Chains A and B, each alone.
Chain A
C-alpha cells in the first residue's frame, strides 16, 4: 500500500507528463516500425529544441564570460544564471500552474476523495516543480559548464550548482501559487478552463515577445564587450542588482562560488528557504485551492425567449458546404488549445518579425545597403515569399483536421454529406488562414525589405502556392493517418505527429528550396514561374485526387 500523498503526486505527474500508452503487445513482441520512427522523431525533436535554446544561452554566457573576465568579475556569470533562471522559471512555472490549475475530469474526481486541500495543492506544486527544475537545471548547467571549463573550480562547485538547480525553482513556485490561488479564488469568471487558457496564452505571448526582444536586442550588441559589461552583467547591471537583492539568487550564487563547507551551507540554506516558502504557501492556501476547484468549468445556460422574431433571425438556410466550413472555423477558434496553437500562430509570428526588424533595424539596414544586388535580384523576393510560406503553412489546421473531428466522425458519417465535401471544407478552412499568412508574411517582409509592388505581389503568390500545397498535403496526411483516440483536445493537435511532420517538413522544404535557388543561375521571373507552377500544379493534382481518396478512406475508418 502506498500513502495517499505520494500516490496523489504520482497520479498527477503521470496525468501531465506520461506519454499516451498503447496496449502492450504479447511478451517479446517487437515494437512496430511506426512506433520506432515516432520515438526516434520525438528524441530528435527534443535534441533539436535543446540544441536551439541551448545555443542561444551558450553564446550569451560565453560572450558574457569573455566580457567579465578582464575585470575579474567572471563569478557574476553564475549570479546572472541564477537570476535569469529564477525569472524564466517564474514565467514558465506561472504558465504551467495556470494551465494545470484544474485538470478537468482528473481534478473533479479527486475532490470526491478523502484528501486534504493542502495535499491537493502540494501535489500540484510538485507536479509543476518538476518541469521548472528541468528548465532551471538546463540554464544553470549551461553557465556552470562554461564556468567549469574556463576556471576549473573545486568539486564543491558542482555540488553547489546541483543545489542551485534544485533550489532555484522553489521560491518562484511559492510566489506563483501565492498569486494564482487568490486570483482564481477572488475572481469567479477565472474559474473556467477557457479563462485559464486565455490568461496562460496572453502571458505566454507577452513572455515570448519580451524574451524575443531581450534575445534579439542582446544578440545585436553581444560583440560589444564594453556594452555587455556595462548594461548586461556588470556589477551595476539590472540583472546583477536584482540578483544581489533577491536572496535565493544570492544564496545560489554563493553556494557555487564560496567553496567548501561555506558553499554547501549556502546551498542548503537556499534549499531550506525555498522549501519553507513552498510549504508555507501550501499550508496557507491548500483549503482555498480545494474550494476554488468546486464548480470549476461550470457553465451557465443562457436563456433567451424563443419568439417568432428570434426563430426567424436565427434559422436561415445556407449552402451545405458553407455550413461545413463555418462549423470547422467555429469548432477550431472556440477551443482555446486549438486557437492558440493554430490560427493564433500567424498573428503572433508577425509580431516577432516586427520586433526583430525594429531591434536590429540598424544592422538590417547596413546589411541591406551592403547587399545592393540582393534587392534587385531574386533573393529579396524569395526571402519575402519564404516568410509568407512559413507563416501560411504554420497553423496546423489541415494536418490535424480529421483528428480534431475524431469524436464526431461517426455522427458526421451518418449524415448525407459526401466525404469529399467534409475534406474540402477542412481544406478551405486551412486555406483561408494560409491566404492570410501569405499576405501578412509575403507583403509584410516585402515592405520591410522595400520591395517594389510587383515583387511583393510575386512573393505573396509564391507563398500562397506553397501554403496551399502544405494545406492539401497536411489534409492527405491526416486523412490517411488520423489520431482517432484521444482524451483531451491537446492530443489531437499539439501531440499529433502529423502536425510536427507537416511543420518541420515545410521548414525543411523551404530550406532546400533556398539552397536550390542559390545554386540555380536563374533570374527573378524564371524562379517565380518555376516555383509557382510547381506548387500550384502539385496542389491542383492533390486536390483533384483527394475526393476519391477521401471517399475510400473515410469509409474505412472504424471509430
Chain B
C-alpha cells in the first residue's frame, strides 16, 4: 500500500508551489492512474513518493514503511520506471541490469531467471551485450521496465511509461500491469493517454495545479459529472477547465 498524507512541495529556486496538500491512498492489487495536464504536479508527486525530492510538508508511506524515517527500506519496496530513459548510455544493457540488481541485493539465481523472462517478454534478450547508447528510445524504455522489476517489488511506479513504446510493447506492458495487480501487487502510473487509463485503471486521480481534483473509479467520475456517455478525455478536460476557472475567480 502507498499512503501520501498532505504532501506539499515548493521548488526552492523558482519558488513554484508544485504540489499543495496532496493526500492519496493506493491499495495493493490495484492499478492506479495518475492523470493531469502538463505542469500539474504529477512528476513532482512521483519524485517525492520515490524519495527523489523532499516534501516540505506531509508524510509518505510505502508498504507500511515511512519514507522520511527509513528511506532505504521504503525504496526497496518499489520499482521505478522514470520519465527519462536516457540515463546510462555508455553502459551495456547487462551492466546496467547487474548494477540495479546489485543495489537491490538480488541473488544470482533470481536475477538470471528474471532477466531471462522479462528480457524475452520485451524482446530485448539478444541485445543485452550492446551499449545502451545504441538503443532506440523504445528499447531504452523496455530496458528500464525490465530493470524496475528485477527485485519483484510490491509496488511498481511508472512515470509516463507508454512514451516511445511500439504497440506490441505497450500491449505487453499493460498485460504485465494487469498480471502484477492480479497477484496482489500495486501499480501506479502517470499518463497523458486517457484511453490507456480508461482501459486498465481500477481507480484514477486527476491532479491540476498541485491539487487533487478527483479520486475514484471512472464510473464514479461519470456519475459525479453527470455525463454518463462521455469519454474520459472529455470528463478530464471539463474537470481541469472548471478548476482553472475556479482558480482565476
Q: Which residues of A contact B (CB under 8 A)?
A: 299-306, 310-312, 314-320, 322-324, 326-327, 330-331, 334-335, 407-408, 410-411, 413-418, 555-556, 558
Q: Given contacts A299-B134, A410-B52, is CB(A320)–CB(B128) below 8 Å?
A: no
* Contact between A330 and B98, CB atoms less than 8 A apart: no
B115 proximity list for chain A (CB < 8 A):
311, 315
B112 proximity list for chain A (CB < 8 A):
311-312, 315
Tell me, rounded to whole Å, the shortest Cβ–Cβ distance linking A557 to chain B. 9
Besides A299-B133, A302-B130, A326-B99, 7 other CB < 8 A contacts? A301-B130, A301-B135, A301-B139, A302-B127, A327-B91, A415-B103, A558-B53
* Contact between A331 and B76, CB atoms less than 8 A apart: no
* Contact between B47 and A418, CB atoms less than 8 A apart: no
Find A410's partner among B11, B47, B128 (CB 8 Å cutoff).
B47
Which chain A residue lies CB-closest to B97?
Answer: A315
Please tell me if B24 contacts chain A, counting CB pairs below 8 Å.
Answer: no
Please tell me if B176 contacts chain A, counting CB pairs below 8 Å.
Answer: no
* Contact between B111 and A314, CB atoms less than 8 A apart: no
Which chain A residue lies CB-closest to B128?
Answer: A306
Which chain B residue lies CB-closest to A409?
Answer: B52
The docked-state distance in angstroms from the alpha carbon of A299 to that of B135 is: 8
A327 proximity list for chain B (CB < 8 A):
88, 91, 95, 99
Stretch at the interface among B25-33, B79-87, B204-212, B228-236: B79-87
* Contact between B130 and A306, CB atoms less than 8 A apart: no
* Contact between B125 and A306, CB atoms less than 8 A apart: yes
The docked-state distance in angstroms from the alpha carbon of A316 to that of B129 is: 14
B11 proximity list for chain A (CB < 8 A):
558
* Contact between B104 and A306, CB atoms less than 8 A apart: no
* Contact between A414 and B90, CB atoms less than 8 A apart: no
- Return 25 A-B CB contacts under 8 Å, by A number: A301-B134, A301-B139, A304-B128, A306-B125, A311-B116, A314-B98, A314-B129, A315-B108, A315-B111, A315-B112, A319-B102, A320-B102, A324-B99, A324-B103, A327-B91, A334-B91, A407-B87, A410-B52, A410-B84, A411-B82, A414-B75, A416-B76, A417-B72, A555-B54, A558-B11
Total inter-chain residue pairs, C-beta < 8 Å: 125
In the complex, how many residues of chain B place their beta carbon closer than 8 angstroms to a beta carbon of chain A? 53
* Contact between A304 and B129, CB atoms less than 8 A apart: yes
Q: Given contacts A299-B133, A555-B54, A558-B53, is CB(A416)–CB(B111) below 8 Å?
A: no
Tell me, rounded to whole Å, the shortest Cβ–Cβ distance linking A71 to chain B. 58
B120 proximity list for chain A (CB < 8 A):
306
Q: Given contacts A415-B75, A416-B76, is CB(A306)–CB(B108) below 8 Å?
A: no
A299 proximity list for chain B (CB < 8 A):
131, 133-134
A311 proximity list for chain B (CB < 8 A):
112, 115-116
Q: What 0/1 readout, one digit per residue, does chain B (115-146) give for beta carbons within 8 Å of chain A?
A: 11001100001111111011100010000000
A407 proximity list for chain B (CB < 8 A):
84, 86-87
Find B103's partner among A314, A320, A331 (CB 8 Å cutoff).
A320
Within 8 A of A (CB), among B175-228: none
The docked-state distance in angstroms from the alpha carbon of A418 to that of B54 is: 15
Q: Given contacts A301-B134, A302-B129, A302-B130, is CB(A317)–CB(B107) below 8 Å?
A: yes
Find B128's partner among A300, A314, A323 (CB 8 Å cutoff).
A314
Q: Given contacts A311-B112, A320-B105, A323-B98, is CB(A411)–CB(B87) below 8 Å?
A: yes
Across chains A and B, which 9 residue pairs bring their CB atoms closest together, nearest first?
A: A299-B134, A323-B102, A306-B125, A334-B90, A416-B75, A414-B50, A302-B130, A416-B76, A413-B52
Tell me, rounded to whole Å, the shortest Cβ–Cβ distance linking B152 to chain A. 14
The docked-state distance in angstroms from the alpha carbon of A337 to that of B84 is: 23
Please tell me if B12 contacts chain A, counting CB pairs below 8 Å.
Answer: yes
Tell me, rounded to whole Å, the shortest Cβ–Cβ distance linking B111 to chain A. 5
The docked-state distance in angstroms from the alpha carbon of A414 to that of B67 is: 11
Tell me, rounded to whole Å, the shortest Cβ–Cβ distance linking B188 to chain A. 13
Interface centre among A312, A314, A320 (most CB of B within 10 A): A314
Interface centre among A330, A335, A558 (most CB of B within 10 A): A558
The docked-state distance in angstroms from the alpha carbon of A419 to that of B13 is: 22
Please tell me if B101 contacts chain A, counting CB pairs below 8 Å.
Answer: yes
Find B88's partner among A300, A408, A417 (CB 8 Å cutoff).
A408
The docked-state distance in angstroms from the alpha carbon of A319 to that of B99 is: 10
B105 proximity list for chain A (CB < 8 A):
317, 320
Find B130's partner among A303, A317, A326 (CB 8 Å cutoff).
A303
Find B91's partner among A316, A331, A411 (CB 8 Å cutoff).
A331
Please tell me if B51 contacts chain A, counting CB pairs below 8 Å.
Answer: yes
The docked-state distance in angstroms from the alpha carbon of A417 to that of B12 is: 24
Find A306's partner among B73, B111, B116 (CB 8 Å cutoff).
B116
Which chain A residue lies CB-closest to B71?
Answer: A416
Find B134's partner among A300, A316, A334, A408 (CB 8 Å cutoff).
A300
Tell me, rounded to whole Å, the shortest Cβ–Cβ distance linking B40 to chain A. 18
B163 proximity list for chain A (CB < 8 A):
none
* Contact between B90 and A558, CB atoms less than 8 A apart: no
The docked-state distance in angstroms from the alpha carbon of A319 to that of B76 is: 16
Q: Given contacts A299-B134, A330-B95, is CB(A416)–CB(B129) below 8 Å?
A: no
Which chain A residue lies CB-closest to B127?
Answer: A301
* Contact between A317 and B126, CB atoms less than 8 A apart: no
Which chain A residue lies CB-closest to B72?
Answer: A416
Please tell me if B173 contacts chain A, counting CB pairs below 8 Å.
Answer: no
Which chain A residue lies CB-closest to B43?
Answer: A410
Tell me, rounded to whole Å, the shortest Cβ–Cβ distance linking B178 to chain A. 24
